[in-house]
Amino acid sequence: MAKLKKAQMAELIKKMGELYPEAECALVHDNPFQLLIAVVLSAQTTDKSVNKVTPILFSRYPDAASLASANQEELEEILKPIGMYRTKAKNIIALSRMLVEEHEGRVPGDYGQLTKLPGVGRKTANVVLAVGFGEPRIAVDTHVFRLANRIGLTAEKNVLNTELALMKAIPKEHWIMMHHALIWHGRRVCTARNPKCDECGIYGLCCRNGLEAKS
């Protein structure tokens, strides 16, 4: 699997910043609590789908205290449009209870504490820390994993190794920007199937790993 050289990496980072200066988290939220819940709900579904249910969810359960005491069946009805709604309803009630019992209802800005919450894994914690607290992190979702290895930022076979490799390859001050930019590029141009290479602003820098040579 081909990888970009250091100079190419620097040029790519600069170009991604220019292509997607407005790139940000697509999940609609007003505070770290809403962000945490939205990210947990986004597993195995799209941000667009989550954004359709969270307005109703947060109007009824605006904070950890109210969600901690929610009726699970009523919560499941709200979450039905998204995948794994039963498991997600159970998890967000449980994590809300833990927030109330152990963190005074507030979302902790600490990776170790976040990953102790039900339904919160490495990616979710990284997103919350980066978006909710401004802490430099690279959260690797399906888009970031695909693009990092396709473009040649990394040459890894799993999410964890891809995250660690990206942290070494990309200067820390660009971690958050590159996370968002790679997601936006993956959704708009570098899709899983039939990527729009003719429309790609970084085509000249891309290793195109896993893709047939362009005719």
198 is catalytic: no
Which of left, alpha, beta for 186 (phi over 0: left; psi -120 to 50: alpha)? alpha
CA-nearest of 132, 66, 128 to 100 is: 66
Kindly name the residue from 30, 141, 172, 198 that is annotated as catalytic. 141
Instruction: Assess whether 63 carries a catalytic annotation.
Output: no
Q: Which residue in the list 6, 123, 168, 198 is annotated as catalytic?
A: 123
Cα–Cα distance for residue pair 67/87, rounded to 1 Å: 15
Q: Two tokens at 204?
A: 């000249």
Residues annotated catalytic, as ranges: 123, 141
